[in-house]
Structure 1
């Protein structure tokens, strides 16, 4: 659902019996922070002044001496969050100076907006489209310990031939060899239904999914690819996809990681981007010769 203005948003809150408004912002390391408030606190002033946050507690943003910022929600990013126990509406926001109202220059969403404005103002292109591919591993369990007398990590994958744990439906014929997982089907693709649920929720967020499949890694590696989007929407989608994947995995009793190389000598995970720049209808990367 596309929210055109705050009036539309207020009607949505009433029609959907929303109880919680959850405001999220992105840090410099690609992680979410959030602040939640009762739906009855939703008003026009929230979209003019924002809500105060202490940016000194967010790595890389500001020192404690000059930390007063406001989180200004973007109504166009509104989406019903399926992970709250109560009816929750999520909005993404950008940081502004609490006194001047000026955008915070290190806010990731503002950086993207500045980059796109630069592209247009300098005549490089008048629009861009971006299509990220998400590769990640789904594990049964991950255990990490780093104490004074010991240090280790342990990963379990029911798909892998090397797993150390007994699984109730274990069948050696369905195990996947190292780097042998590309496009395998169930029963070897054990996480198909989980990945499909992820894709369905991503679509509910208004993010168009191109496809999903098992990736090369034979230990639960998956891929979800979305369709092309404008720059800021694509960046927002990256955050949403990671949030959805990790929450659904947790609900199902699994662990998801987007780390580039969680397993030695197994396929790594990347995030390829399809990039298109246009002037009018002319693609800049096209060469007719």
Structure 2
């Protein structure tokens, strides 16, 4: 892990790094980047590298027209699939305006503020993710089809599971980039796969999820396949989610780590805060019209509730003990912007702690049924208004399909 500019410059020189990608995420969750040469890296750390904000989704009304990418030193990774001679490195970046201040539309900065708010209350948030995706065949022109790569089922093995080697390549590539997968397997749907990841700080988890989608898509393409993160790519097959695991630590101890049938009051309040605010933050967990089709399908939770090891509930308390104790939020999918999804989940949970909320018997209240419904609830939400800059909120809702109507 590198933190000092001079250490990074030395690493670049000694490891034959010839191209450096400065990456960031637009409001839709799409990774963008610009490549610079090694000689420009020191200037990038000091002043940032300018880009045309008007050409990036959600940044069009940035003050001054240009924004600046400033690399985060600790996010350095080498791209293992690029040539070993003239290597390519990548940094995730903060986004600043012409005055040097953090741009209020920077979704990564919003997640950092959620982590800071947790620290002010005495907590560190640890997060993990379970990422599901489908592998589809390509046609003769190299375009994606809706034909699954295999017809295997849950946890099948080769030869039924044809994605086994693809997942292996994905996991090894991620390890080379400093990301530790915990497990991988074939999921219930034909051609459906899942990769789970170890817990880390929330900002690191979001950075990793951006990388994971990139590596999965790149690896699939190298194998003549198409990776789909659509929430419901096949109408008669299970949908794909992005289950988010959250736990709270204080004094180095996981407060979800209690007796088998107990939680400490703060852990219960954190869960209650997410349950009570879920309607207001769904727009940031479920970003596409197909997200709401998944929530109504058999594979997605469509009402607000929680249960121990209940996979039909919005929040599941897995049968895990010790440091792995956590809650699992099951409604998000991989079309979300992970920075916004994690930030708003954390803000919702912290709101529950501040109010001393308790999980209670809730009516079988439906989640928002459409993007427009979710957007309307976000606009009216005091939680969202309190924690999300107005520019970021307005730009996000203006660009997400089905959300750009007043409600």
Q: Which interval holds the TM-score relative to the shorter structure?
A: 0.7 to 0.9
Does the 8 A contact of 1:24 with 1:92 survive in 2?
Answer: yes
Does the aligned pair in 2 maintain the 1:261–1:269 contact within 8 Å?
yes
Superposed CA offset, 1:182-234 (max 9, x none): 0000001101111101001111111111011111112x100110100101000
Deviation at 1:65, TM superposition (A): 6.7
- Cα shift readout 1:84-138 (whole Å, capped 9, x = no counterpart): 454111111011012x1000122111011011111222x1x42011010110001
Determine the structure 2 residue equivalent to 1:265. 236
Q: Is the 8 A contact 2:217 2:227 kept in 1?
A: yes
Please give the TM-score of this superposition, normalised by the length of structure 2: 0.60
- Specify whether residues 211 and 96 from structure 1 end up closer, same or farther in structure 2 by C-alpha distance, changes over 3 A only: same
In the aligned structure 2, how far is the partner of 1:116 from the partner of 1:142?
Answer: 45
Mapped contact 1:143–1:155 kept (Cα < 8 A): no
Give 5+ residue unaligned stretches, structure 2.
263-407
CA distance in structure 2 between the partners assigned to 1:142 and 1:126 by the alignment: 50
- Report the equivalent of 1:140: 137
Q: Which moved more, 1:249-258 or 1:84-93?
A: 84-93
**Residue 64 to residue 50, structure 1, CA distance change in 2 (3 Å):** closer
Counterpart of 2:44 (choices 43, 46, 55) is 46
Aligned to 1:242, which of 213, 222, 225? 213
| 2:106 corresponds to 1:115 | no
Shift of 1:286: 4.9
Equivalent residue, structure 1, for 2:36:
37
**1:142–1:156: 8 Å Cα contact kept in structure 2?**
no
* TM-score, normalization by structure 1: 0.83
**CA shift for structure 1 position 14:** 1.4
What is the aligned partner in structure 1 of residue 61 from structure 2?
63
Q: 1:97 to 1:142 in 2, by over 3 A?
A: farther
- Give the 3-state SS of the residue equivalent to 1:25 in structure 2: strand
Q: 2:178 corresponds to which residue?
A: 206
1:128 aligns with 2:125: yes
Which ranges of structure 1 fall in alignment gaps of 5 or more residues? 145-152, 161-175
Given that 1:136 and 1:223 are in contact with CA atoms closer than 8 Å, whether structure 2 keeps it comes out as yes
Matches within 5 A, 1:146-157: 154-157=145-148
Q: Specify whether residues 67 and 194 from structure 1 end up closer, same or farther in structure 2 by C-alpha distance, changes over 3 A only.
A: same
Number of equivalenced pairs: 256
CA RMSD of aligned residues (A): 2.0
Larger helix proportion, structure 1 or 2?
Answer: 2
60-69 vs 47-56, greater mean Cα deviation = 60-69
User: Structure 2 vs 1, CA of residues 84 and 287 (structure 1 numbering), >3 Å: closer, same or farther?
Assistant: closer
Cα gap change, 1:190/1:21 in structure 2, threshold over 3 Å: closer, same or farther? same
Rounded Cα–Cα distance in structure 2 between residues aligned with 1:275 and 1:87: 35
- Counterpart of 1:82 (choices 71, 80, 83) is 80
User: Are residues 142 and 30 of structure 1, via their aligned partners in 2, closer, same or farther at CA, if it must alter by over 3 Å?
Assistant: farther
* Residue 7 of structure 1, CA deviation: 1.5
Partner of 2:189: 217
SS of residue matched to 1:262: coil
Cα distance in 1 between the residues matched to 2:181 and 2:67 = 35
Cα pair distance change 1:275/1:158, threshold 3 Å: closer
The structure whose residues are more often strand, as a share, is 1
User: What secondary structure sits across from 2:242 in the alignment?
Assistant: coil
CA contact (8 A) 2:80 2:177 kept: no
Deviations 1:65-95 (A, max 9, x none): 7321101111111111134454111111011
Equivalent of residue 197 in structure 2, options 214, 226, 230: 226
